[in-house]
Amino acid sequence: MILSRIIHHLKTQNWTAVAIEFVIVIAGVAVGFEVSASGERAAERAYEQDLLLRLHREIVNIEQGRERQQDRIQRDRDLLVSVRPALFLAEERDRLSSGECIALLESHLLDPAPDSLPALDELVATGRMESIRDEAIRSATSAFLQRRESTRAQTPMLLSGITNLPRAFPDLLYFSLTPDPEVPDGDGWNREAHCALEGMQADRQFRTLAAQNIAQYRQLLGYHYAYVGEALTELHQAIDVRLDIEHPAESGAEP
Residue-wise pLDDT tens digits, 70-99: 999 999 999 999 999 999 999 999 999 999
| Residue type for position 196 | A
Which pLDDT score, from 0 to 100, does residue 124 have?
83
pLDDT single digits (tens) 191-249: 899 999 999 999 999 999 999 999 999 889 998 899 999 999 999 999 999 988 887 76
pLDDT single digits (tens) 169-196: 999 999 998 887 776 666 777 889 999 9
pLDDT single digits (tens) 22-75: 666 666 665 555 555 555 555 566 777 888 899 999 999 999 999 999 999 999
Window from 1-10, 51-60, 136-145 with minimum mean pLDDT: 1-10
